[in-house]
């Protein structure tokens, strides 16, 4: 694998992203190391190639957003919207991820080794998210498809307005959102958890998780509900 480096202390983020937006065939098999990121925004966004990117430090807003095919590792923490609208590939955050991690992800896998902030997985559309720690309130809000694995605790209103996505939680749930409910784990759930935890490098017992899914009462408007579900 060919190693390249970009020093954001000397080069702008635009130069890095322009390189990463090059022809996929020329990027395949390359490893791009980003040094001195210093919390810069929009690092490694919009990649559409099977390239490996390592960010040596903390990243700002929307790191690795709209990712396709790439394997992106953030050695520190990430601010709002990491892996937002991801399509495929893998994004791993070694530290903490702030608000809206994995928002609207259609595919791929987001791994957060630490905790995640508010609205993790909001409007998830098919991607997978594994959080080694806990998540903040309104995580999984309006998640339509995909899977979330939370190895720690979950804040208020988990899975509010959930559709067909499934959330697995190992720790305590402060409260469930509208239309979310706890259901029994199935053999398929345990197999899914084993696969996702293994890929993330976590060794928790899959049977120790709770399954949170939609009760499906919000699928159709109910005029008699008086806004209470």
pLDDT value of position 215:
92
Tokens linked to 197: 């935890």
Mean pLDDT of 156-174: 97
On the 0-12 / 13-18 / 19+ scale of CB atoms within 10 A, 168 is: buried
The answer, yes or no, to whether residue 15 has pLDDT greater than 70, is yes
pLDDT value of position 219:
77
Tokens linked to 127: 């991607």
pLDDT value of position 47:
98
pLDDT value of position 225:
64
Torsion sign across C-alpha atoms 8, 11, 13, 15: negative
Torsion sign across C-alpha atoms 208, 205, 133, 86: negative
Tell me the per-residue pLDDT of 209-228, one tens digit each, with 9 for 90 and over.
999 999 998 877 666 666 66
pLDDT value of position 81:
98
**Residue partners of 220: CB distance under 8 A and separation at least 6:** none
**pTM listed for this prediction:** 0.95
Tell me the per-residue pLDDT of 44-91, one tens digit each, with 9 for 90 and over.
999 999 999 999 999 999 999 999 999 999 999 999 999 999 999 999
Mean pLDDT (the chain, rounded): 96
pLDDT value of position 17:
98
On the 0-12 / 13-18 / 19+ scale of CB atoms within 10 A, 219 is: exposed
Walk me through the domains of the chain, giving residue ranges and CATH numbers: 2-214 (2.160.20.60)
Mean pLDDT of 9-17: 97
pLDDT value of position 109:
98
Cα 96 from Cα 113, distance rounded (Å)? 7
Give the up-direction half-sphere exposure of residue 147: CA atoms within 13 A in the CB hemisphere: 20
Are 188 and 168 spatial neighbours (Cβ–Cβ below 8 Å)? Answer: no
On the 0-12 / 13-18 / 19+ scale of CB atoms within 10 A, 114 is: middle
Tell me the per-residue pLDDT of 82-141, one tens digit each, with 9 for 90 and over.
999 999 999 999 999 999 999 999 999 999 999 999 999 999 999 999 999 999 999 999
Tokens linked to 118: 């508010």
Of 136, 104, 134, 106, residue with least CA distance to 122: 104
pLDDT value of position 83:
98
Phi, psi of 20 (to 5 degrees): -70, -15
């Amino acid at each position: 694998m060919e190693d390249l480096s970009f020093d954001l202390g000397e080069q702008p983020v635009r130069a890095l992203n322009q390189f990463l937006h090059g022809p996929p065939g020329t990027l395949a098999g390359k490893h791009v190391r980003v040094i001195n990121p210093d919390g810069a925004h929009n690092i490694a966004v919009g990649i559409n190639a099977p390239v490996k990117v390592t960010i040596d430090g903390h990243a700002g807003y929307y790191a690795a957003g709209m990712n396709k095919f790439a394997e992106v590792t953030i050695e520190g923490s990430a601010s709002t919207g990491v892996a937002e609208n991801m399509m495929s590939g893998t994004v791993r955050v070694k530290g903490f991820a702030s608000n809206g991690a994995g928002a609207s992800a259609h595919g791929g896998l987001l791994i957060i080794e630490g905790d995640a902030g508010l609205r993790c997985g909001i409007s998830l559309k098919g991607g997978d998210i594994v959080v080694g720690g806990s998540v903040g309130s309104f995580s999984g809000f309006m998640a339509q498809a995909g899977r979330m694995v939370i190895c720690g605790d979950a804040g208020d209103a988990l899975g509010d307005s959930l559709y067909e996505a499934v959330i697995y939680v190992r720790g305590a749930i402060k409260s469930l959102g509208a239309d979310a409910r706890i259901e029994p784990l199935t053999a398929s759930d345990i197999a899914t958890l084993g696969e996702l935890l293994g890929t993330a490098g976590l060794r928790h017992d899959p049977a120790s998780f709770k399954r949170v899914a939609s009760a499906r009462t919000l699928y159709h408007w109910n005029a008699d509900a008086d806004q209470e579900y």
